[in-house]
Structure 1
Amino acid sequence: MKIDRLIAILMILMNTNKTTAVILAEKFEVSVRTIYRDLDTLLVAGIPVMTAQGLNGGIYIDEAFKLDKQYFSLKEITHLLVGLKGIESAMDDHGLKAALEKVKSLVPEEVSDEFNDAMGQVSIDLLSWIGHSEIKEKLKKIKYGLSKSVVIWFNYINRRNKPSSRSVEPYRLLLKESAWYLEGYCLEKSDFRMFKLSRMIELKVTDQTFVKREFIPQRNDVNGWVKNQMMLIDVEFDYSILERMVERCGEKNIEKIGVTTYKAKMPFTDNAHSYNSLLSFGKNIRCVGPEKIRAKLLEHIESIKKMYYD
């Protein structure tokens, strides 16, 4: 959008001594002529954009117009930028790019080296190794539906691999454990539901608008809807998967019982997804109890074996 680009250009000019139309055009993937039109727009708005000719020339903004950069500490600005860059890497949103430039403009020039060092110490990359371009495209369509209050349609494969077609009023995007989810009002179920983006197929934006309903976001931690389904199972596992088990169980729930053997209380839900997840560790883990889960796990294993013997 033009307004996002104008804000971003303004923030770049406030954050640098000089730049050029060519550099701005490459950054925003537009023509040099478009950049000059944008600069004219900023001038009409009363922003003192200036140009200088010659070897050290370029585009710049009057120093008297620049903001006081002491409102945030360097540490606070760094935290803001690390978070924004992580989200921007996943969503590829022009509004986020503009926000990044705004925050960068708050960095005093005299501490720019210190700031660059601090920024290099932490990096957040929310992109998956494979398929991130498809997720980005889905995010773009859903964000359009959110901003315009437009119904989206998609085919959905649930955890039991059952397909269905859904028309949904989008209300919120959620990033949870490196996966994106949509909370929305499902017109087929006449209720609010949560959908995982990776399970959506052939997502389309419709021309059907909607009036927003009262929306109360679900709690998505162990104190929310997950709590009713969650249990702890006893497992023993090999050192080779210790890192993954620390992520799942927490270090305080793990105890060493042998040279290379550990035991843990592992969060678990009684559904096919969790059994498949447990089996993904292969022979490096063994469920000790409760007996009910052990029995179901054996049934799951037998069903897999049967598939190969038939």
Structure 2
Amino acid sequence: MKLGRLLSIIILLLNRRMVQAKELAERFEVSVRTIYRDIDAINRAGIPVVTYQGTNGGIGLAEGYRLDRNVLTNDELAAIITALQSIATTYGSEQNLQLMEKINSVVPSSSSEDFRHKTNRVLIDHSPWDGNESLQPKLVLLKEAVDSCLVAGFTYSNASGEISHRIVEPHRLILKGRQWYLQAYCLEKMEFRLFKLKRMKDVTIDREQTFSRRELPAQDSLAGKTVNEPSTAIEFILRFQADSRHLAQEYFGIEELVPTADGSWQVKKAYPEDEWLYSFILGFGHHVEVLEPLHLRETIASRAEQIVKIYRNEQAT
């Protein structure tokens, strides 16, 4: 994504005296305007990039500037490779593959074997079990919209199943809990909103209509936070059967399990109360029982009864 593109531009400028902005834009499939924003970001990071005017002009590093190879250790380069490999599990990008090749090329041959082992020690696989073929086209389009400040439109189904058509100014793509979200300024609601990509269809971008980026609200900084409003979270207690300890461990971790006198296991958690939570608990089937709060216990019981009625009616017919 943007970090990968910035690193690729820096490496290209280190290896070539001058590059034209148009060439960079074509190489990374973004607008020339985006390239100049990237150059400005690189300058602010302390690497002096100079724009030369004229027929033979272009973009290059300031005369005499060299980036010390030791500015990044092998461990730091391996960490970058690991991050790019993990991103590639859910968002494939030719740019990221090119960047990984470039990083591998600057590692001395004497250290290549050790470097390869370091990059294979950890892989964070964000891809869903059923694949993400339908998600990729949305990601590609929305990434272009974010990079080039293009207005986007799509049909959206919210958590209540209500269908609407949205026109938005896309500002940021967010991967949270294996789910992709778009943070965008909604031109209908006149405020920033989060849209889950799985609830979008008929995504389009208007390459003729651009927008000026707005400052993201401070409270919408999502690093390490949930995309749900914290006020909707409730605390609940689940009881797992004695022979279902492995399920509780897999989903909550062994440290969260509290043994009881009858051999069962209790887990206390706080999640936002919504359709996802009901489906999550019901997914454990007969292995789990909601102990608290009472209203959540009654909701799960009511939905379980509805499921039983469906299957009994099918058998009756």
> For 2:304, what is the secondary structure of its paired residue?
helix
Q: Runs of 5+ in structure 2 lacking a partner?
A: 16-55, 58-65
The one-letter code sitting in structure 2 at the alignment partner of 1:281 is F
> For 1:215, what is the secondary structure of its paired residue?
coil
The equivalences for 1:70-219 within 5 A come to 70-206=70-206, 207-216=208-217, 218-219=220-221
Deviations 1:257-303, CA, capped at 9 Å, x for gaps: 26863111022322222111110111111100111211222222234
Deviations 1:80-129, CA, capped at 9 Å, x for gaps: 11001211342222332333233323322211111112222222222222
Question: What residue number does 1:50 align with?
Answer: none
> For 2:76, what is the secondary structure of its paired residue?
helix
Structure 1 range deviating more: 161-170 or 124-133: 124-133
In 2, Cα distance between equivalents of 1:203 and 1:307: 36
Question: What residue number does 2:250 align with?
Answer: 244
Q: TM-score, normalised by structure 2?
A: 0.70
CA contact 1:255–1:264 (8 Å) conserved in 2: yes
In 1, Cα distance between equivalents of 2:144 and 2:287: 45
1:234 aligns with 2:237: yes
CA contact 2:236–2:290 (8 Å) conserved in 1: yes
CA displacement at 1:138 relative to structure 2 = 0.8
Structure 1 residue ranges, 4+ long, deviating more than 4 angstroms after superposition? 221-225
In 2, Cα distance between equivalents of 1:110 and 1:68: 19
In 2, Cα distance between equivalents of 1:78 and 1:198: 32
In 2, Cα distance between equivalents of 1:236 and 1:112: 51
In 1, Cα distance between equivalents of 2:295 and 2:273: 10
In 1, Cα distance between equivalents of 2:264 and 2:251: 12
> For 2:193, what is the secondary structure of its paired residue?
strand
Alignment equivalent of 1:298, drawn from 275, 296, 301: 301
Question: What residue number does 2:53 align with?
Answer: none
The equivalences for 1:233-272 within 5 A come to 233-237=236-240, 238-246=244-252, 250-257=253-260, 261-272=264-275
In 1, Cα distance between equivalents of 2:287 and 2:257: 15
CA displacement at 1:200 relative to structure 2 = 1.1
CA displacement at 1:198 relative to structure 2 = 1.2
In 1, Cα distance between equivalents of 2:123 and 2:283: 28
The equivalences for 1:41-80 within 5 A come to 68-80=68-80
CA displacement at 1:67 relative to structure 2 = 7.0
In 1, Cα distance between equivalents of 2:78 and 2:237: 41
Q: Runs of 5+ in structure 1 lacking a partner?
A: 15-43, 46-65
Change in Cα spacing, 1:115 to 1:84, as seen in structure 2 (3 Å) is same
Q: TM-score, normalised by structure 1?
A: 0.71
State the identity as a percent. 26
